[in-house]
Amino acid sequence: MSRHRAPSPVTRRGALVAGAAWVVGAAAASSGLTGRWSTGTAPTALPSEALAAAQVPSAPASPAAPSPSPSSAPPSVAEVETTAAFDRTAHSTTEASSPWVVVNKRHPIDPLDYEPPKLVAVAGERVAAQAAPDLEALLARSRDDGVALTLVSGFRTYSYQQQVHRRSVARNGQAGADRYSARAGHSEHQTGLAVDFSSADGRATLSPRFAQTDEGLWLAEHAGSHGWLLRYTEADQAVTGYNAEPWHFRWVGVELVAAMVAAGAPTLEQFFGTSGGPDYA
Ligand SMILES: [Zn+2]
């Protein structure tokens, strides 16, 4: 039996670093850059717009996540070149079909009733075709590691998201609903690029406890190496505008995950300098 052993808990940033390690490692092979992320890296300065979003007065103070002690060494030339070589304009951040589209409370999907041009069924859910290969690879690797991942949500239409949000408002009130569920036209699920994972036993489905399950821990460590980003963390609440969702992952591709790690930017908003936060535009 090769039952998966849960890795020791890791920090959000540490998890992303671990997840992208093979990508960075592959790039490092040619640049002579090795072991850079295993020691932790101080975040670079954030774009001012993202900082402004992080300082929205109504936002709760974001508790500082425990993070590896930052390296005091200045970045080497190789590091600077690696970061500078990444073209942040290679894909649009506003077109709904772009792998890098940023969707949040300030940036609705355009058009509001958008549907991906091609949807593919993976493990019982539909996702945008471009996200499917990395999702299938992630699920296959989880099976190899003895982790029982399942999908509980993929693409959602505008009208379905309306129902989801209305139910949440009925249960939690508008303010409460807005912390957990996106209004229609503002959900990453509508792009077909986001999925919600659970475990086969379903014991922590859509629960904060998912973070501590074998499946949640495995995802936090490995999703990044298949291009999937843990989108909503407690530490990033003021930027993303949502409570932590350890089950919600967004496909952006392995290159962008690696570039975000290299830039020390844990969110799409910070990496691209896009506004976000808890308030709808
Ligand atoms: Zn979700």
Query: For 5-19, 111-125, 263-277, which range has the lowest pLDDT when averaged over its residues?
Result: 5-19
Q: Which CATH class is domain 14-63+74-272?
A: alpha beta
CA 71–ligand 1 middle distance (angstroms): 34
Where is 270: in which H helix or E strand?
helix 268-272
> Per residue in 146-177, pLDDT tens?
998 999 999 999 999 999 999 999 999 999 99
Confidence grade of residue 216 (pLDDT, cut at 50, 70, 90): very high
Round the average pLDDT of the chain to a whole number and report it.
Answer: 79
Helix, strand, coil percentages in the chain from 3-state DSSP, rounded to 5: 40, 10, 50
> Distance between CA atoms of 203 and 183, rounded to whole angstroms?
27
Structure confidence at residue 241 (pLDDT): 93
Structure tokens at 51: 């900082």
Q: Is the pLDDT of residue 32 over 90?
A: no
* pTM (2 d.p.): 0.72
Confidence grade of residue 83 (pLDDT, cut at 50, 70, 90): low
> Per residue in 183-203, pLDDT tens?
999 999 999 999 999 999 999
CA 156–ligand 1 middle distance (angstroms): 10
Query: Above pLDDT 90, what percent of the chain?
Result: 67
CA 248–ligand 1 middle distance (angstroms): 4
Cα four-point dihedral sign 51, 13, 43, 95? negative
Structure confidence at residue 18 (pLDDT): 38
> Distance between CA atoms of 108 and 113, rounded to whole angstroms?
10
DSSP, collapsed to helix, strand or coil, labels residue 156 as: coil
Domain boundaries, the chain: 14-63+74-272
Examine residue 70 and say whether the peptide bond preceding it is cis (omega within 30 degrees of 0). no
CA 151–ligand 1 middle distance (angstroms): 10
| Averaged pLDDT for residues 104-109 | 96
Q: Is the pLDDT of residue 55 over 60?
A: no
